[in-house]
Amino acid sequence: MSRKTRVPVALVAGLVASVLSVAAPSAQADDLVTHHEFQANCSVTHHRPDDPIVFPRLPGASHMHTFLGNPTTTAATTTDSLKAGQTNCKTPDDKSAYWFPTLYNGDQVVAPSGPQVVYYKSGVLDYRQVRSFPAGLRFVTGSPSATQDQFRTAPGAVEGWECGDSFKNWDFPSWCAPGSQLNIRYQAPSCWNGRDLDSADHKSHMAYPDRATLVCPSTHPVPVPMLEFKMAFPVSGDMSRVRLSSGRGYTWHYDFMMAWDGPTLQALVSHCINGGLQCDPRGYDQYKPDRGAALGPDYRLPR
């Protein structure tokens, strides 16, 4: 096709609509694709100065972390020990470990209350190519040593810290409207090198897609689900004493150890991410009920 200096607006709109309407083979022809995600809803289990990725088998060597999902997570945790453990995640066959630096208001721990949302999304343009996480994958996202500018410009940063009508705070806001919550969203890399389940810095085996094309780099050619932690902390008013165990707000980071049941995760990836749906933890899109759910009423894969 020859290049032209101007393209009719109607033609551009038509092309965009055509791209958005592409869906998995099981979708209806008129099924508009606007999302490609599902949720893991997990609650806080405990706080502990452990990090089984960065400081394995060294209890107390880390700053304090807040753990979600699997209550057995300690410095000695392995993939096998997670799978032998339990979980408070809505999907009972997700025994993965999720953790982040503990939030304090002065000396008081502020823990997210109730189920928190970890999104599993497509980070690449062609969401149909996203593959399930390999068993045993682990990584760290963000950095406890980041500067404010590094946090602001990081590929994973979404809107910084938020509360009430205050957005794009790259450190904690000085004031939050009473009764509001302090929120953070941060996205993990979604391209895997296809070989390593971990790396020396716990990051190099993963990479972000190219920002312009949303395509994985050749060094990390395998698109996997993009985790997006969305945490809500019940703290408001004067925020001058709010801090993370790792330091200022821009030291936010989190860790993930994969311990899903493989077929269950694959079913959610195939149905929701590859299928272009906006799913809850059961793999059900309430806006497209005709597509059904990936899991049964007990949030388990039908056997």
d(CA 115, CA 85): 19
Confidence at 303, pLDDT banded by 50, 70, 90: confident
**pLDDT one-digit tens code per residue, 134-190:** 999 999 999 999 999 999 999 999 999 999 999 999 999 999 999 999 999 999 999
Q: What percent of the chain has pLDDT over 90?
A: 87
Helix (H, G, I), strand (E, B) or coil at 63: coil
What pLDDT is recorded for position 143?
97
Residue 273 confidence (pLDDT) above 60: yes
pLDDT: which is higher, 183 or 32: 183
Residue 193 confidence (pLDDT) above 90: yes
Q: What does the mean pLDDT of the chain come to?
A: 91
Indicate the domain borders of the chain: 41-261
CA proximity to 34, closest of 45, 48, 21: 21
Residue 6 confidence (pLDDT) above 70: no
Q: What is the mean pLDDT of residues 25-44?
A: 76
d(CA 300, CA 28): 26
What pLDDT is recorded for position 119?
98
Residue 272 confidence (pLDDT) above 70: yes
Q: What is the mean pLDDT of residues 75-87?
A: 98
Phi, psi of 263 (to 5 degrees): -60, -35
DSSP state of 186: E
